[in-house]
Amino acid sequence: MGRVMFVILLWLSAGTLLSVVRGEDPYLFFTFNVTYGTISPLGIPQQGILINGQFPGPNINCTSNNNLMINVFNNLDEPFLLTWHGIQQRKNCWQDGVAGTSCPIPPGTNFTYHVQVKDQIGSYFYYPSTAMHKAAGGFGGLRVNSRLLIPVPYPDPEDDYTVLIGDWYTKSHTTLRKLLDSGRSIGRAEAVLINGKTAKGDGKDEPLFTMKPGKTYKYRICNVGLKASLNFRIQSHSMKLVEMEGSHVVQNNYDSLDVHVGGCFTVLVTADKVPKDYYMVASTRFIKSVLTSKGIIRYENAKAPASPDLPKAPLGWAWSVNQFHSFRWNLSASAARPNPQGSYKYGNINITRTIKLVNSAIRTKGKLRYALNGVSHVDPETPLKLAQYFEIPDKVFKYDTIPDIAPSDVADSLSVQPNVLNITHRDFVEIIFENHEKTMQSYHLDGYSFFALAIEPGRWTPERRKDYNLLDAVSRHTIQVFPKCWAAIMLTFDNAGMWNLRSEHAENRYLGQQLYISVLSPERSLRDELNMPDIQLLCGLVKNLPKPAPYT
Ligand SMILES: *[C@@H]1O[C@H](CO)[C@@H](O)[C@H](O)[C@H]1NC(C)=O
Ligand SMILES: *[C@@H]1O[C@H](CO)[C@@H](O)[C@H](O)[C@H]1NC(C)=O
Ligand SMILES: *[C@@H]1O[C@H](CO)[C@@H](O)[C@H](O)[C@H]1NC(C)=O
Ligand SMILES: *[C@@H]1O[C@H](CO)[C@@H](O)[C@H](O)[C@H]1NC(C)=O
Ligand SMILES: *[C@@H]1O[C@H](CO)[C@@H](O)[C@H](O)[C@H]1NC(C)=O
Ligand SMILES: *[C@@H]1O[C@H](CO)[C@@H](O)[C@H](O)[C@H]1NC(C)=O
């Protein structure tokens, strides 16, 4: 069976998939060949990171409970890791593909991820999680469809489209990395791309998508960029929001949506206008010199080109805060249960711990670092999870490096070390992100979805809990924090593992604005956490250590 599969895989063109039923949950097999290649998204050739020759990489299409077997061949000249952004990896941080859980895949070798997607129906993406590789590509869409048994709260669309938007730098990922390593910022992007392109508007642009008049289409929009929040809109068409980051929401119509780095929306768009071309537009928000990108949506039988008049983006961030307030979880939608333990009445659960994280940008000896509560994280050579599993954590990191509540002088202190928080399994925790800076923030937590309770201006105090949405906040994996604002989330830490909490802004993360949350399975029990896979790559201090007794 195994050999037959291998032969068929070689025979199929790269990126195609094959599904086999083993027991209950089907397996889907993917081969990802990661290479450098020349791309010219702005008309000028530059080095990109391709998957199976594609930029962006291929879409992964799967259904809840599917087992994804993704065999990644690293043909770059550098170690490489992919992360499956927003996929919860229940009991299985081994597959998370971040430096704190996995050794990177050495150049010239391959590694197979085994990711089981659970009931988190929605739009996601994958991307390279280390070494600024994301600046060169390596990302692609990932959609989780509903099993037939679980209805989604809208009719089947005519077709399903992935729209990956992001800011883009013409400098290579190695140049950007050198800037960061020397303690400088990567500065502003040169452009915005939509699915790796930007339309010129010279009448020769190929359409990105086509629509049949009268039909309704699903668009999955994710911000895969490095740091710019983007506003997304479509000429003359409104978008009905149906899902965001794995939760079905109250279906409001929007003329435009602010998509922050790491965030994803699923919208329905009906082709009910004059049959011609229309532009979809993505433009930067909250920075003075606005960058805009467009791409064509063509009606079948289109009679005319798209109008060059692009719809205007909203101004200022108050608009965006209001938009956040309009997002409500659809409590009656039967699909997409984000919390398998079922804490739907999250507003009634007593908080066991409050953590307030304040981000800071600090220059030390002239070099820029970013921190959370005064600690700027560095990835040790031995992944944190492996150090823990092999029971040598003391040789690699300390627990609870930061205080739960940021001290008031947080902007003046800096220590550079691995940043690990110890959270008790199943605790119900409130986390506040307070942004004292003048720049946007976007935070992402691996392994979980959380209730996005509030985003408000100013500083957080316990009294501000009155601003929380304790009824129908959307369960998400990423939350933006506007300049001089705070955001609050709540969740039950019921997924044992070592989980990355990070600034989704690539520069901030690279220079230390991230930490890991260790949620231990106290009994090393298989009920709580899966064993380290046999093929797990070992590096650093654990490379030659005997394997500890597996979980039971
Ligand atoms: C990956 O792509 C390169 C370049 O096209 C090719 O030489 C190599 O054989 C491919 N590897 C796999 C595993 O498909
Ligand atoms: C994606 O998968 C679903 C079922 O899992 C299938 O119905 C659909 O046709 C697939 N779409 C594409 C584009 O392969
Ligand atoms: C590497 O790829 C080969 C060929 O597809 C496969 O048999 C093997 O299991 C892969 N190795 C790992 C560690 O994933
Ligand atoms: C919520 O989901 C239900 C059931 O799937 C659907 O009928 C309803 O229209 C949705 N409500 C809103 C406000 O979107
Ligand atoms: C929450 O705490 C209050 C006050 O300490 C207590 O009365 C209540 O029973 C607790 N509720 C739950 C669900 O544990
Ligand atoms: C982490 O928290 C758990 C549960 O509260 C506790 O048993 C353990 O001792 C803590 N570990 C460290 C290193 O602080």
Please identify, by atom number, the ligand 3 atom nearest to the C-alpha of residue 111: 14
Report DSSP state, residue 96.
S
Query: What is the rounded distance in angstroms from the CA atom of residue 370 to the CA atom of residue 107?
Result: 29
- Looking only at the bridges linking them, the beta strands covering 239-244 and 264-270 are antiparallel
Which candidate, 138, 199, 191, 200, places its Cα nearest to that of 166? 191
Res 79: pLDDT: 98
Res 333: pLDDT: 76
Query: Does residue 325 come out as left (phi exceeding 0), alpha (psi in the -120 to 50 range) or beta?
Result: alpha
Paired residues of 357 in beta bridges: 433
Please identify, by atom number, the ligand 6 atom nearest to the C-alpha of residue 399: 13
Query: What is the rounded distance in angstroms from the CA atom of residue 464 to the CA atom of residue 454?
Result: 9
Token representation of residue 338: 């984000």
> Is residue 88 within 8 Å of residue 120, measured between CB atoms?
yes
71 in ligand 3 pocket by Cβ < 6 Å?
yes
Query: Residue whose CA is closest, atom 7 of ligand 3?
Result: 6
146 in ligand 4 pocket by Cβ < 6 Å?
no
Give, in degrees to the nearest 5, the angle at Cα 267 between 261 and 268.
Answer: 160
Q: Which domains does the chain have, with CATH numbers?
A: 2-145 (2.60.40.420), 160-326 (2.60.40.420), 346-542 (2.60.40.420)
Which candidate, 251, 191, 252, places its Cα nearest to that of 225? 191
Handedness of CA 509, 510, 512, 516 (dihedral sign): positive
Query: What is the rounded distance in angstroms from the CA atom of residue 98 to the CA atom of residue 80?
Result: 10
Q: How far is CA 443 from CA 358, 480, 507, in A?
A: 12, 6, 13
Give, in degrees to the nearest 5, the angle at Cα 174 between 366 and 295.
Answer: 110
Token representation of residue 49: 């990171």
Query: Residue whose CA is closest, atom 11 of ligand 6?
Result: 422
**Distance between Cα 350 and ligand 4 center (Å):** 29
Token representation of residue 184: 């400088």
Query: Residue whose CA is closest, atom 5 of ligand 3?
Result: 6
Burial of 193 (0-12, 13-18, 19+ CB in 10 A): buried
Report DSSP state, residue 1.
-
33 in ligand 3 pocket by Cβ < 6 Å?
no
106 in ligand 4 pocket by Cβ < 6 Å?
no
Which candidate, 24, 19, 328, places its Cα nearest to that of 149? 24
Please identify, by atom number, the ligand 6 atom nearest to the C-alpha of residue 393: 13
> Is residue 340 within 8 Å of residue 119, measured between CB atoms?
yes
Instruction: Give the chain's end-to-end CA distance (angstroms, integer).
Output: 29
- Best of 9, 102, 110 to mutate for ligand 3, by most ligand atoms within 8 A of CB? 110
Residues 463-477: pLDDT tens digits? 999 999 999 999 999
Residue-averaged pLDDT of the chain: 93
Burial of 527 (0-12, 13-18, 19+ CB in 10 A): exposed
Give, in degrees to the nearest 5, the angle at Cα 520 between 517 and 522.
Answer: 160
Go through the chain and tell me how many residues it has. 552
Torsion, Cα of 194, 195, 198, 203 (10° steps):
-110
Res 340: pLDDT: 43
Question: What 3-state DSSP class applies to 6?
Answer: helix
> Is residue 55 within 8 Å of residue 39, measured between CB atoms?
yes
3-state secondary structure 243-298: EECCEEECCCEECEEEECCCCEEEEEEECCCCCCEEEEEEEECCCCCCCEEEEEEE
User: Which stretches in the chain have pLDDT values below 70?
Assistant: 1-23, 334-344
27 in ligand 1 pocket by Cβ < 6 Å?
no
Question: What 3-state DSSP class applies to 393?
Answer: helix
> Is residue 353 within 8 Å of residue 430, measured between CB atoms?
yes
Query: What is the rounded distance in angstroms from the CA atom of residue 241 to the CA atom of residue 471?
Result: 19
**Distance between Cα 82 and ligand 1 center (Å):** 18
Res 337: pLDDT: 52
Res 413: pLDDT: 85
47 in ligand 1 pocket by Cβ < 6 Å?
no
Measured in degrees and rounded to the nearest 5, phi and psi for residue 405 equal -110, 125
Burial of 6 (0-12, 13-18, 19+ CB in 10 A): exposed
Measured in degrees and rounded to the nearest 5, phi and psi for residue 423 equal -120, 135
Question: What 3-state DSSP class applies to 142?
Answer: strand
59 in ligand 2 pocket by Cβ < 6 Å?
no
Q: Does an H or E element contain 488, and which? A: strand 485-492
Res 23: pLDDT: 55
At 52, which amino acid appears?
Answer: N
Res 148: pLDDT: 78
At 363, which amino acid appears?
Answer: R
Res 406: pLDDT: 95
Query: What is the rounded distance in angstroms from the CA atom of residue 196 to the CA atom of residue 273?
Result: 27
Res 187: pLDDT: 96
